[in-house]
Amino acid sequence: MTVMERSPREIAASVLDPEMPLLTLEDLGVLRDVTVAQDGTVVVTITPTYSGCPAMATMRDDIAHKLHDHGYVDVEIRTSLAPAWSSDWISEEGRRKLRETGYSVPRPARRRPTTGPIPLTLTVQPRTIACPQCGSLNTILKSEFGATLCKAQYHCSDCLEPFDHVKEI
């Protein structure tokens, strides 16, 4: 009999995000639940960051493979869509890793009204963003959209470096 050295939770939590591999799925907040059913099946629940997140398939495969490699034969990966992922779910550990790698971390997400029309925002809500390279607050938003769905592009006017800001959602 194989000795399970690490719990399914620990294993699933250590799987890396395919698009930002400095973060684990737990750091990113996409790992919602890990349980073991009575028949021994490991049931892992993940949630996409955005509806079109192209990394979901890879995450699923990576979790299953890693659990298999550690001796867990029966693995079921479930998707959860509600509640919808929020950048608020990125852990403190995840934020620390993002900062160390040169990302600007999201501030608390804006609360949306639960009833009534969603207000239109005709002017860009300026964020006070510090350059992750030099700390300067003299930074410019280049685009609300970036290399992946979760990032906006900024530029530092002092050290002149571009950088990514993980968006509030």
Partner 1 sequence: MIDHDSAYDGLIDEDSHGQWAFGTSFDDPLAGVDTTVPDDVDLKALAAYCLMLGDDALISAQRLTQWSTRAPELEEEVALANVGLDLLGQARLLLARAAAADSDTVPFISATSPVPAEDALAFFRDEGQFRNVRLCEIDNGDFAQSLVRLLIFSTWRLAIFDRLRSSRDPVLSAVAHKGIKELTYHRDYAARWVVTLGCGTEESKRRTVLALGRVYPYVAELFLPTTEEMSLAAVGVGVDPRDVREEFDSVLAQVLHAAEIEIPTGSSVGTVGGRGGRGGIHTESMGILLAAMQAVARAHPEGVW
Binding residue (CB under 8 A) for partner 1 from 3, 38, 39, 121? 121
Other Cβ atoms within 10 Å of 28 Cβ, number: 26
Q: How many residues at the interface with partner 1, by CB under 8 A?
A: 42
Residue 156 lies near partner 1 (rule: CB under 8 A): no
Q: Terminus-to-terminus CA distance in the chain, angstroms?
A: 46
Q: What does the per-residue mask of binding to partner 1 show for 27-66, with x meaning CB under 8 A?
A: ------------------x--x-xxxxx-xx--xxx--xx
- Spell out the SS3 assignment of 40-89: CCEEEEECCCCCCCCCHHHHHHHHHHHHHHCCCCCEEEEECCCCCCCHHH
Single-letter residue type at 129: I
C-alpha span between 120 and 154 (Å, rounded)? 23
User: Using the rule CB under 8 A, is 169 a contact of partner 1?
Assistant: yes
Smallest separation (angstroms) from partner 1 to the CB of 20: 16
State the residues that interact with partner 1 by CB under 8 A: 45, 48, 50-54, 56-57, 60-62, 65-66, 69, 76-85, 112, 117-118, 120-124, 142-147, 149, 153, 169
